Amino acid sequence: MNMRKGSKVWVEDRNLAWVAADVIESTSKQVQLLTATGKKVVALPEKLFPRDADEDELGGVDDMTKLAYLNEPGVLYNLQRRYALNDIYTYTGSILIAVNPFTKLPHLYNIHMMEQYKGAPFGELSPHVFAVADASYRAMMNEGRSQSILVSGESGAGKTETTKLIMQYLTYVGGRAAGDDRTVEQQVLESNPLLEAFGNAKTLRNDNSSRFGKFVEIQFDSNGRISGAAIRTYLLERSRVVQITDPERNYHCFYQLCASEKDAETYKLDHPSHFHYLSQSKTYELDGVSNAEEYMKTRRAMDIVGISHEDQEAIFRTLASILHLGNIEFSPGKEHDSSVIRDQKSSFHVQMAANLFMCDASLLISTLCTRLIQTREGSIIKALDCNAAVASRDALAKTVYARLFDWLVDKINRSVGQDLNSQMQIGVLDIYGFECFKDNSFEQFCINFANEKLQQHFNEHVFKMEQEEYSKEEINWSYIEFIDNQDVLDLIEKKPIGIIALLDEACMFPKSTHETFSTKLFQHFRAHPRLEKEKFSETDFTISHYAGKVTYHTDSFLDKNRDYVVLEHCNLLSSSKCPFISGLFPSQREESSRSSYKFSSVAARFKQQLQALMETLNSTEPHYVRCVKPNSLNRPQKFENLSVIHQLRCGGVLEAVRISLAGYPTRKTYSEFVDRFGLIAPEFMDGSYDEKTATQKILLKLKLENFQLGRTKVFLRAGQIGILDSRRAEVLDNAAKQIQRRLRTFIAHRDFISIQAAAFTLQAFCRGCVARKAYAAKQKTAAAITIQNYIRMHISRDAYLKLHSSAIIIQSNIRGFTTRKIFMHGKKHKAATLIQARWRMCKVRSSFRHHQASIEANEAGALRLAKNKLEKQLEDLTWRLHLEKRLRVSNEEAKSVEISKLQKMMESLNLELEAAKLETINECNKNAMLQNQLEWSVKEKSALERDLVAMAELRKENALLKSSLEAFEKKHSTLEFEFTKAQKDNSETIEKLREIEQKCSQLQQNVKSLQEKLSVLEDENHVLRQKTLSVSPKSNHPGFAKALSEKYSGALVPHTERKSYETPTPTKLMTPFSHGLSESRRSKLTVERHQDNYDFLTRCIKEDLGFKDGKPLAACIIYKCLLHWHAFESERTAIFDYIIEGINDVLKVGDESNILPYWLSNASALLCLLQRNLRSNGFLTAVAQRSTGSTGLASRIGHGLKSPFKLIGYEDGTSHVEARYPAILFKQQLTACVEKIFGLIRDNLKKELSPLLGLCIQAPKTARVHAGKSSRSPGGVSQQSPGGQWDNIIKFLDSLMSRLRGNHVPSFFIRKLITQVFSFINITLFNSLLLRRECCTFSNGEYVKSGIAELEKWIAGAKEEYAGTSWHELNYIRQAVGFLVIHQKRKKSLEEIRQDLCPALTVRQIYRISTMYWDDKYGTQSVSNQVVAEMREILNKDSQNLTSNSFLLDDDLSIPFSTEDIDMAIPAIDPSDIELPTFLSEYPCAQFLDPQQK
């Protein structure tokens, strides 16, 4: 094997047996691997096996021979993958491997599944035990040779259940011979509880292990019907009766008997722990099993088998005596080597055993403690020591139980019944598998010997199958070596020195021990390659079996092989007063012997039985079923690799693989080979070579040798497929590298372009962002400047206005002050001047007076002096005035200077004042703000203090609220879950209620129609009762006597003998002529007239009269004749019976394709004419008289009678024919005839359509050539186009439509037929899709979808009048195919699949399609593992609901219409306007039909 980096291989693993791995690094001596579990390991190249990675994606193959690498790990993991998908069956060639699912899968075993596998070629459908059973049955019937089915496996692998299924299928397909009340399968299965109770026990691996081999022979008669059966048993494990190991149990029947209440008390039984044979193990109960209930089942099984109550009591008495016998203990006697009963307890058990055996207790003790030896001188009684007495006791218990078991098997065989004349049988062998335990004893040696024998037979069969395959493919196989195990069989059974012969020889010598036996064994077989001596034991030996080495402990070999029949025991029990026990031990003739022991070898007897079994198997054609137990815990969906690989070795499956490896293990069809390896040599795939030649060219190009080219397949030697895959991997690697190179270039270029575009975009964005930011900054600066200008202008203007107003105020104040000052100064000056003037005036006056007086004294001088003084004063005043003026000017100048200074000071002070005011205002504002902040802070502080207190409380409350919130959240989540669940339940309930409402409305309609039918039936039944009461015992014409009630009316009216016949002509019309004719003459004329009528009707029925304006002439003529002859009003007539028989005869002999549609049209037209024109006589009056109180019922009945005529447009006044009993019966017979014709047409259509559909379910295999354009077969003949098969379906439908319309079948019937045809197409295609894995592919889905599109076109062309709801009938296959062809299945959730893609399909059907799907076109995968797990969980919950377990669709065989439906759907027919055919006008009785004669 070429190991390269990345190669897929299998490597051994201690825990998983084998594990998938990838090669990391490879050298010539060792390979470094990375396992699927993530470990790195190093292994030798020769220890590795190649692995096909494609098989992991496909979910396994259904036949191991399809594996690319047929090796041990490939077989193991293929089973594991299929088991995970609940595909428990897998083929290995013709061998079926069945893995126990440990869960119920009833959908795999119902009637629908049996119907699918019935007659199907082996391997065409999915692997199934029914396929093996069907193959054996078909081979038996075709070749006339008996068959055998060998079911093997270890305990708990499902052998018994598989055997039941095989018998169930054989009963279904073979039926049973007449006279059997119960099927053989039922009888054999009903005996199973009995055999399981007495032959099954708990072992280490199985709670219900069969400790005997069973061969059920089902016998068939020459017609293939089951005629009898027989059961043979092999090697019951007798030693288990007296010796068991913990935690195993003895046979179930002992524990069942101890659990029975009354019987246990009767037989003085107690808990199993009180009995030696049961208490050696501490396991007394089984999980989930009630011993008391099992006891009742065993009792019922005995009743079913036919065991009488007395025999049942004797059987359980015998079992109780064995238990009491085991409790007898011995102690040394007074004499040497003698023994006696130990104590009172043992004496009690001896007495109980003797009572139950119905024999003498002292005689029982004597047979256990002594032995009688015959000599020439006479009889000698030899005492037995304690060990010998115990051995004698155990030998008696084993002998009694073995005889009892043989009696039960014989009784079951007599109950089932054997067919001694049967020449064909199918035998089902349910036998123990290969066993290898820690301690292996004599039982394992015998079991493994039997399996070696069966393995040799198996190897021969497998080699024969290989030869047949090679011969079929016409290849050379003469040099292939046959793998045989004859050397092991010679080692065991060859005389005179085989192991069995040496063991028997050792058993014959009393002093022989297992040491002497082992020594002799090693002396004879020292150099034998299959036998080894155990290193740490002197007596143990190891045999190399086909399944591996097994070490046997010889300690108990001799004891278990000795099967002494003690004559004293037989004589004692044959003399029992119980007939049953004495019957188990018939008296034997006296034999002169020196010992009462009669030696019998268990191994020799088993060898003889096995030889007889092999002779039986060699005379039959074998079929193999290998049962596998997936885990030791008996749990579903658990797969233990080590256990399974061991079972595969033990079951010979890997031996079959080795046989295949010796020849050509890899076989592929040319199309598969070219499809897989054509890419290695594309130069041969241009279409110039066929597939076979291309295959040869590819193999020669790689210089491969020893391959073989068969007719349809190429056969490769072991290892060659690895070379091909290695070369293919190299080609794919190179292609992958080239693709990667181109892809990386494309990705790099694409990334560069995208990065460049992104850089340009980013740069433009960044530049734009920077420009926008700069513009925004400038915009903000300009705005700030503008704002500053306006603010400054506003501030300056406010300052100016404030300064201007202040200056004006100051100026006005100063001016007012100055004015007031000047005014006050002027006022004061004026006052001073006035005061001065007054003072001066007063002084002048006084002076004047004084002067006047002095004048008088001194007028002149005085006047002069006065004048001088006045002048001086005037000058003084003038000077003063000038001075004051100068002072005033200087004062004003000083004032102006001071005023300017004061103004400047005032301005500065005003500015300071304004600034101070602003500062004061600001300070006030600040103080106010601080005051407010202080107050707010104080308030906030007090609020914070309150908040802190509240916060502490809130924290406490918050903790409480959190805890309550968590509780509420939990409650909320639970309530939400319950709410969603309740919503789902509510929606489901609403849907169910809607369905129930629809059903109720439908039922109401059905009730109405049934009420109408009831009214009609009441009417007819009343007429029939009147007819029954009024029938006379007279008979007129015995020549035509055939009572109608004997043939047709058994289910309608009470059976009454009628042998009279009355002419179709009414009696009323015959009375005027009766006086002129004699009785004989009148009878003769009547008979002749009747004969003419019958001949005419016969001609009408047998001839194809055709149609006129769409009206069937035959129906119209028959109706008019019956109406004209007054047949409907006759009390007694056989003419209706004659018509029905004539129609039935025509249907049998005519061409069904034309005659059935013709008579469907005529019979339905005649039925409509009867339905619309007949009326029962006098019914309403009778009802009114009979039940005056029930007016409501009478009104409903009256309405029911009138409604049909109202529907077709007849007026109430129209006169209808009064129908009598024969006419009513004729209408019912005609209804049955219409239904029969419809059913025949439908069944014939299905028979014609089935082979066409078989070709349409799978796309034709075409050669895979370059570009997939050419399609040539290996022989060079071009195959039919894929659409050709569907064209045949379309042609079939066109032919059907033309036949139906050509015979003027009403559109109502055409619609029903077309609908049922499309329903059959839907069912057949859908069931085939679910049963054949090769159909669940992407390409096949496209193929079927294209065919369905053609059907849709045909339906659209046929129009709704004829097609009806045919398109809806294809819902299942349409949705299934639609699911196959969708991409991205792994992304779909289960809800999307169920709601959107496949609403009509059940979860089981979706699961089946999902697990079987594989994409052969694009390599895509099926749905995700999560969806598969969800579906599996749903299926496990729903597994007990048997109504929903089947994934197959059932074909509806009911008639989809009633008489009322026909009457309402078919338009009215006027029978008057018809033309009589020329050849019918010759009949005198039909002259009234000719309009010219009228």
Q: Is 156 annotated as a binding residue?
A: yes
Q: Is 1291 annotated as a binding residue?
A: no
Catalytic residues: 155-156, 160, 206, 209-210, 433, 435
Helix (H) or strand (E) run with residue 335 in it: none
The two tokens of residue 108 are 């795999």
Count other Cβ atoms within 10 Å, centred on residue 977: 10
Count other Cβ atoms within 10 Å, centred on residue 468: 11
> Is 506 within 8 Å of 512 (Cβ atoms)?
yes
CA angle 143, 432, 632 (to 5 degrees): 125
Backbone torsions φ then ψ of 510, nearest 5 degrees: -60, -30
Closest CA to 1182 of 1015, 1012, 1017, 1023: 1023
DSSP for 398-447, please give it.
Answer: HHHHHHHHHHHHHHHHHHH---TT--EEEEEEE-------SSB-HHHHHH
> Is 177 within 8 Å of 221 (Cβ atoms)?
yes
Q: Is 548 annotated as a binding residue?
A: no
Q: Is 155 annotated as a binding residue?
A: yes
Whether cis (ω within 30° of 0) applies to the bond prior to 247 is yes
* Cα–Cα distance for residue pair 575/560, rounded to 1 Å: 28
Closest CA to 1180 of 1209, 1155, 1200: 1200
Given the structure tokens 């043979």, which residue do they identify? Answer: 232
What is each CA distance from 463 to 63, 451, 466, 474, in whole angstroms? 17, 18, 5, 16
DSSP for 347-410, please give it.
Answer: HHHHHHHHHHHTS-HHHHHHHHHEEEEE-SS-EEEEE--HHHHHHHHHHHHHHHHHHHHHHHHH
DSSP for 1191-1220, please give it.
Answer: HHHHHHHHHHHHHHHHHTT--TTS--EEE-
Q: Is 154 annotated as a binding residue?
A: yes
Strands 708-709, 713-716: pairing kind? antiparallel
What is each CA distance from 951 to 845, 938, 966, in whole angstroms? 106, 19, 21
Contacts 24+ apart (CB under 8 A), 759-765: none
Closest CA to 462 of 73, 207, 95: 95
* Cα–Cα distance for residue pair 13/31, rounded to 1 Å: 15
Output DSSP code: residue 1131. S
- Sorted by sequence, the CB contacts under 8 Å of residue 12 that are 6+ apart come out as 18, 19, 43, 47
> Is 1321 within 8 Å of 1354 (Cβ atoms)?
no
* Cα–Cα distance for residue pair 1017/1023, rounded to 1 Å: 10
> Is 644 within 8 Å of 157 (Cβ atoms)?
no
> Is 1481 within 8 Å of 1490 (Cβ atoms)?
yes
Q: Is 1422 annotated as a binding residue?
A: no
| Torsion 1310-1315-1320-1322 (CA) sign | positive
Which residues are registered as beta bridge partners of 427? 148, 217
* Cα–Cα distance for residue pair 1380/1416, rounded to 1 Å: 11
> Is 1373 within 8 Å of 1312 (Cβ atoms)?
no
DSSP for 1176-1198, please give it.
Answer: ESSHHHHHHHH-SS-HHHHHHHH
DSSP for 149-174, please give it.
Answer: EEEE-STTSSHHHHHHHHHHHHHHHH
Given the structure tokens 């197409």, which residue do they identify? Answer: 1321
Q: Which residues are annotated as a binding site?
A: 153-160
Binding-site entries for ATP? 153-160
